[in-house]
Amino acid sequence: MDRRKFLGMGLAAFAAVVASKTDLSAVDFRATKPKAWEAVDSASAIKELYGTGGLKESKDLKLKAPKLAENGGSIPINIKSSLDLESVALFQDANPRSAVAVFTVPANGIVNYDLRMKMRKTSKVTVVAKGKDGTLYTTSRNVEVSIGGCGG
Amino acid sequence: MKVKAKAKGDITKVKMMFKNPMAGPEEAKKKKIKSEFITQITAVYNGAVVYEVTTSGFVSKNPLFKFEFKGGKKGDKLEITTVDNNGKKESKKAKIK
């Protein structure tokens, strides 16, 4: 790739971030917490995203994931909670980097998120949620992967 | 992008499907393709953000996302916008059924 093209791409990315900020008032965690996306394990990703505050195991934060996933390329995940949350983040320890997705909970949003993710191997899947009062909740589950996804 | 939104009572359920390889740098290198993944998805209803997520290349390819929000009337429109790591922006308006 030549330099001109590369610079152009950077500019376009920057423009997109700025544009989405202004017209949607959205929180781009990639821009605000870039280090969290580079962290290789859950513990350091959580630290980068939410600081070093203590995590509280909570029954009101529910993570649904298969015990055994046959296809590591598509693992269904459901995150549900009745707590008053500000943001919810999903991490795993199977891939080169830990962060999978970070949700911002809007005023009239409901925490009931479904998505599918990739995992190279068996590992722990962790969800951390930040309450509006600043409390950090967590829950985790072990997912066994028989055939790794993520380009495997 | 395919979007299905259905209002039931005071809750609207939304399903979204995107066409994207969701290839992070490592995967792109292995498959010899360009790194391309969605980094952000936003849903706007009535001028307010109702769903927002920042994603990485570890979400499955051609991802499927589901969410719910309070409010939402039949016939109204919901706008979904995605931004990928190359800065490409896509958006679509879907009618709530």
Span A59-114, pLDDT tens digits: 888 889 888 888 888 888 999 988 888 889 898 888 888 888 898 988 888 899 99
Q: What is the DSSP letter of A35?
A: G
Beta carbons of A113 and B30 less than 8 Å apart:
no
A60 occurs within a structural domain: yes
User: Given this model, what pLDDT does residue A21 score?
Assistant: 41
pLDDT in tens, A18-70: 444 434 456 778 778 778 888 888 888 888 888 877 888 888 888 898 888 88
In a domain, A16, yes or no: no
A20 part of a folded domain:
no
A62-92 burial, b for 16+ CB within 10 Å, e for fewer? ebebeeebebbbbbebebbbebebbbbbbbb
**Number of separate domains in chain B:** 1
The model's pTM is: 0.81
Positive or negative: CA dihedral A5, A11, A17, A21: negative
Cβ–Cβ contact B21 with A under 8 A: no
Q: What is the pLDDT of residue A55?
A: 85
- The CATH number that applies at residue A131 is 2.60.40.2470
Which uninterrupted H or E stretch holds A13?
A: helix A3-24
Is A152 inside any structural domain?
no
pLDDT value at A135 more than 80: yes
Spatial separation of the C-alpha atoms in residues B63 and B4, rounded to whole Å: 14
Average pLDDT for runs of 10 along chain B of length 97: 90 91 84 87 90 89 90 90 88 91
* Count of domains forming chain A: 1
Distance (Å) from the alpha carbon of B38 to chain A's nearest alpha carbon: 11
Which residue would you say has higher pLDDT here, A4 or B33?
B33
Let me know if residue A64 belongs to a domain: yes
Digit-coded pLDDT (tens) for A9-20? 666 665 555 444
* Residue of B22, B42, B86 lying closest to A13 (CB–CB): B86
Domain enclosing residue B80, as ranges? 2-95
Q: Kindly provide the ipTM of the predicted complex, given to two decimals.
A: 0.88
CB A78 within 8 A of CB A63: yes
- How far is the CA of A50 from the CAs of A42, A45, A112, A141, B29, in angstroms? 12, 8, 21, 20, 31
Residue type, A101: A
Domain holding B54: CATH number?
Answer: 2.60.40.10
| A:114-133 residues touching chain B, CB 8 A cutoff | 114-119
Please check whether residue A22 lies inside any domain of the structure.
no
What is the residue range of A47's domain?
A: 27-145
First to last CA, chain B: 17
